[in-house]
Structure 1
Amino acid sequence: MTTTQENLLDLSDFAWQRLRDRVAGLTDEEYFWEPFDGCWTVRKTDSGFAADWAWIPPEPAPFTTLAWRITHIVDILQEDRTATWLGHQPADDDGQPPVPASAAEAVTALQHAYDVWRRRLAAFSQDDLDRPMGEIAGPWADHDGTAFVLHILDELIHHGAEVGSVRDFYRGLRAEDPFAPALAGDVTPADRPALLAEAAAAQRWEVIPRLADLGFGLNERTPNGVTAAHLAAGTGSLDTLRFLVEHGADLSLTDPRFNADVLGWATWFKQSEAAQYLTARTHSGSGV
């Protein structure tokens, strides 16, 4: 039976990995993008960068940029209270939450802030989680440590979801075919080795044979660790699955989420035709 702390750590790690995946490839242009007038963001000052803020914010609340949202998440996770409110002290190397001045700095700051938060969470005892926080927590003095941890996780989850939504919004307004440069010969397998897997993730089945002809690897993985064959099998895209098999895709590779091979994905996602095809090839010794 898992403990309360183990459940909280599992939820925290799940939310973090989702956010970490969603900030991959973030650019400075996107980080500072202001889609509307009156956005809150982070701005250059005489001493660095600072986030827009007010004791009494405008109503309705301003739209906040990715720079503002990520800075806010960093602050929530890394601030001293995620240790002191549960009776612990920040470590010497925890540092204070920065205001990142670029997308690269933001991703680095997010990773450090999460490392700090996770280390603190892992150090809390059951007594820390059960005990009312007391005077240090001000209006929340009667709330126990678990309630506070859940509040921090709620902040991580809902602001992380906002980051993903803003990235989707930004991408949608600048929609371009991500595979066109490769098909035109401007992007090579050395530049984007996992592009064929990315095409499968986007369910752009029609470009997969063309990418394969250009030398993009059949067994490369998406950032989530799955191959094109996993995705073809799991979605029941039988023509693509046949193409991948016939061109030598490795069907024994397993993914990190289910630890399942390609047949396992077809079975898990109830793609009976794909599963029958893969099983038949196994029985016939055709190289699965």
Structure 2
Amino acid sequence: MTTLSQNLLDLSDFAWQRLRNRVEGMTDDEYFWEPFDGCWSVRETADGYAADWAWIPPAPPPFTTLAWRITHIADLLQAERTATWFGHEPAATDAALEVPGSAAAALAALDRAYDIWRRRLAALSQEDLDRPMGEIAGPYAESDGTSFALHILDELIHHGAEVGTVRDFYRGAHPEDPFAAALAGELTPTDRPALLAEAAAAQRWEVVPTLADLGFSVNEQTPDGATAAHLAAGTGSLDTLRFLVERGADLSLTDRQFNADVRGWAQWFKQADVAEYLATVRSAPETR
């Protein structure tokens, strides 16, 4: 039987991986993008960077940038209270967050903050989860550790969803066509190794063969761990899948969402024709 602690860890890891995948490839322009006047963001000061903040924010609250939202997530995950409210002490190495002033620094800060939070969550006993938090939690003194753990997970989940939505807004306001750039010779496999997988994710099947001819690997994976073969199998794009197999697609690779190989995707998404074809494929040819 799965314990409460393991269920909390599993939910945390799932929400975290979804967020981490959604911020992969973020640029500085995107990180600081302010689509409206009056946004709250992260701003450079004489002492580094600081996030806009007020005890009582304006009503309605201002739109917050990716920089602000990501800083907030990192801060709440590694805040001292995610140890002390459970009756534990922060590790000596759990220094306060330095507000990240670039997209790369933000991703590093997120990774570090999640490592701290996960370590603290994994250390909780059932007694820690059942016990009222007491005076240290102020108005939440009578709430138990489980309720506080769920609160932190709710913060991770709903702010993570906001981050994904802002990235969608940014992409819509700044359209790009990396596939056209690659076909024009402006983007190489070194520049963007997983471009062929991205083409499959976008269901741009017509560009997949040309990208393969240009040297883009058929076995690179999206942030979710899906290869072009996974995506072709799952969508029933049999002609593209045949091409990928001919070019050496590794059908044994597993994705991070379902932990399934290419055959598993065909079965999960009920692509009978694809599953029938894959049953005839004994092994992938040598990768080019």
Q: TM-score range by the shorter chain?
A: over 0.9
| Deviation for aligned residue 1:286 | 9.4
Instruction: Give the match for residue 113 of structure 1.
Output: 113
How many residues are matched?
286
Instruction: Give the match for residue 130 of structure 2.
Output: 130
1:275 to 2:275 alignment:
yes
Instruction: Give the match for residue 54 of structure 1.
Output: 54
Rate the CA distance shift 1:70–1:223 in 2: closer, same or farther, 3 A: same
SS at match of 2:178: coil
Rate the CA distance shift 1:286–1:185 in 2: closer, same or farther, 3 A: closer
1:29 to 2:29 alignment:
yes
CA distance in 2, matches of 1:9, 1:279: 37
Tell me the TM-score normalized by structure 1. Answer: 0.94
Instruction: Give the match for residue 153 of structure 1.
Output: 153
Instruction: Give the match for residue 189 of structure 2.
Output: 189
CA distance in 1, matches of 2:152, 2:257: 25
* 1:69-108 alignment runs, 5 A limit: 69-108=69-108
State the Cα deviation string for residues 36-78 of structure 1 (Å, max 9, x = none). Answer: 0011111222222221111211111100011111111111111
Moved more, 130-139 or 239-248: 239-248
State the Cα deviation string for residues 95-143 of structure 1 (Å, max 9, x = none). Answer: 1122111111111111111111111111111101000001111111110
State the Cα deviation string for residues 6-25 of structure 1 (Å, max 9, x = none). Answer: 10011111111111111111
Tell me the TM-score normalized by structure 2. Answer: 0.94
State the Cα deviation string for residues 219-254 of structure 1 (Å, max 9, x = none). Answer: 222222221111101110122112222333232333
Rate the CA distance shift 1:59–1:148 in 2: closer, same or farther, 3 A: same
Q: Which runs of 5+ in 1 are unaligned?
A: none
2:251 maps to a residue whose letter is L
1:18 to 2:18 alignment:
yes
1:258 to 2:258 alignment:
yes
2:144 maps to a residue whose letter is D
Q: Which runs of 5+ in 2 are unaligned?
A: none
CA distance in 2, matches of 1:286, 1:134: 60
CA distance in 2, matches of 1:231, 1:16: 23
Aligned sequence identity (%): 75
Rate the CA distance shift 1:277–1:61 in 2: closer, same or farther, 3 A: same
Moved more, 85-94 or 100-109: 100-109
CA distance in 2, matches of 1:185, 1:287: 28
- Cα RMSD after superposing both structures: 1.7
SS at match of 1:179: helix
Rate the CA distance shift 1:229–1:58 in 2: closer, same or farther, 3 A: same
Rate the CA distance shift 1:215–1:287 in 2: closer, same or farther, 3 A: closer
SS at match of 2:86: coil
Contact preservation (8 Å) 2:246, 2:285: no
Moved more, 184-193 or 201-210: 184-193
| Deviation for aligned residue 1:281 | 4.3
2:233 maps to a residue whose letter is A
2:274 maps to a residue whose letter is A
| Deviation for aligned residue 1:30 | 1.0
Contact preservation (8 Å) 1:230, 1:262: yes
* Structure 1 segments (4+ residues) deviating >6 Å: 285-288
1:206 to 2:206 alignment:
yes
Contact preservation (8 Å) 2:33, 2:65: yes
Instruction: Give the match for residue 242 of structure 1.
Output: 242
CA distance in 1, matches of 2:86, 2:246: 58
1:67 to 2:56 alignment:
no
Contact preservation (8 Å) 1:75, 1:98: no
CA distance in 1, matches of 2:26, 2:208: 26
